[in-house]
Structure 1
Amino acid sequence: MKKRLAMLVLAGAMVTSSLTGCGLKDSATVATVAGDEIPAGLANFYARMTQAQYESMYSSYLGDNMWTTEASEGKTYEKLVKDEVLKDLENMYLLEDHMDDYKISLSDDEKKAIKDAAKEFSKDNDKDDKEKVSGDTEYVERYLTLATIKQKMTDAIEAEADTNVTDDEAKQKAMQYVLFSVNTTDANGVYQSLSDEEKANVKANAEAFAEGAKETSDFEGFAQTQGYTVSEASFDGEGSASVPEALAKAADALDEGGVTDCIETDNGYYVAKVTSLFDQEATEEKKQTIISQRKQDKYDEVIKGWRKKGDISVKKSVWKKVDFNDLKVTLHTEDSEESTDSAN
Structure 2
Amino acid sequence: MKTKKVYTFLMAGVIGMSALTGCGINKDEVVATYKGGKAKLGEANFIARYNQLTKGSLYKQQAAGDIWNMDLTGNGTTMADSEIERSLEEYHEMLTMQAHQKEKGVELTKDEKAKIAEASKKFIKDNKKDALEEMTATESVVNEYLTLCTIKEKMYNEIVKDADDKVSDADANMSSYTAIKIDTLQKYDPQTGQKSIYTDAERNKINETAQKISDEISNGADMKTTAEKYGYTTTESSYAKDDENLDAAVKKELNSLNEGQVSKLIKTQAASYIVRLDKKVDEKATATHRTQIIQTRKQQLYSKILKKWQKKDNWKVKKSAMKKISFKNDLSKKQTKKN
Change (3 A) 1:200 1:117: farther
- For 1:54, the equivalent position in structure 2 comes to 55
Matching residue of 1:123: 125
Aligned equivalent of 1:171, options 166, 173, 183:
173
Which residue pairs with 2:9 in the alignment? 7
Q: 1:150 to 1:136 in 2, by over 3 A?
A: same
1:13 Cα deviation (Å)?
2.8
1:62-101 → structure 2 map (5 Å cutoff): 62-74=63-75, 75-101=77-103
**Pair 332,305 (structure 1): closer, same or farther in 2 beyond 3 Å:** farther
Measured after TM superposition, the shift of residue 44 of structure 1 is 0.5
1:339 corresponds in structure 2 to none
State whether residues 177 and 278 of structure 2, in contact with CA within 8 Å, keep that contact through their aligned partners in structure 1: yes
The equivalent residue for 2:28 is: 27
**In the TM superposition, what is the alpha-carbon distance from 1:220 to its structure 2 partner?**
4.4
Deviation at 1:261, TM superposition (A): 2.8
Percent identity between matched residues is: 26
Tell me which residue corresponds to 1:38: 39
Residue 144 of structure 2 corresponds to which residue in structure 1? Answer: 142
Q: Pick closer, same or farther for the CA change 1:72–1:14 going to 2, 3 Å.
A: farther
1:285 aligns with 2:295: no
My pick for the range that moved more, 167-176 or 217-226, is 217-226
* 1:304 Cα deviation after fit: 0.9
Superposition deviation, residue 300 in structure 1:
0.7
Misfit runs of 4+, over 6 Å? none
Amino acid of the structure 2 residue aligned with 1:205: T
Query: In 1, Cα distance between the equivalents of 2:206 and 2:129?
Result: 64
> Matched residue of 2:72: which SS?
strand
The residue correspondences of 1:226-305 to structure 2 (distance < 5 A) are 228-239=232-243, 244-246=246-248, 248-256=250-258, 257-264=261-268, 268-305=271-308
Structure 1 residue 103 corresponds to structure 2 residue 105: yes
SS in 2 for 1:88: helix
> What amino acid does structure 2 have at the position aligned with 1:319?
M
Separation in structure 1 between the aligned mates of residue 296 and residue 326 of structure 2, nearest angstrom: 34
Mark the runs of 5 or more structure 1 residues left unpaired by the alignment.
Answer: 334-344
User: Once the two structures are superposed, what CA deviation does each residue of 1:9-42 show, in whole Å capped at 9, x if it has no partner?
Assistant: 35233567x345x6x3111011123221111000
Deviation of residue 100 (structure 1)? 1.3
CA contact (8 A) 1:174 1:234 kept: yes
Cα offset for 1:318?
Answer: 0.4
Range that drifts further, 32-41 or 89-98 = 32-41
TM-score, length of structure 2 as denominator length: 0.85
Paired positions, count: 324
| Cα distance in structure 2, aligned partners of 1:14 and 1:209 | 63
Given candidates 157, 160, 165, the residue that maps to 1:158 is: 160
**1:213-252 CA deviation, whole Å, 9 max, x = no partner?**
3444854465456564322211134436xx6334643334
Q: 2:22 touches 2:130 (CA, 8 Å); kept in 1?
A: no
SS at match of 1:72: coil
Indicate the SS of the match to 1:70: coil
Tell me how far apart the structure 2 counterparts of residues 200 and 47 of structure 1 sit (CA, whole Å).
Answer: 55
Q: CA RMSD for the aligned pairs? A: 2.7
Where relative contact order (Cα < 8 A, 6+ residues apart) is larger, the structure is 1
Q: Give, in angstroms, the shift of residue 273 of structure 1.
A: 1.9
Query: What do the CA deviations read for 1:300-327 (whole angstroms, capped 9, x no partner)?
Result: 1111111111111100110111111x21
User: Structure 2: 5+ residue runs without aligned partners?
Assistant: none
Farther off after superposition, 269-278 or 154-163: 269-278
Q: What letter matches 1:34 in structure 2?
A: K
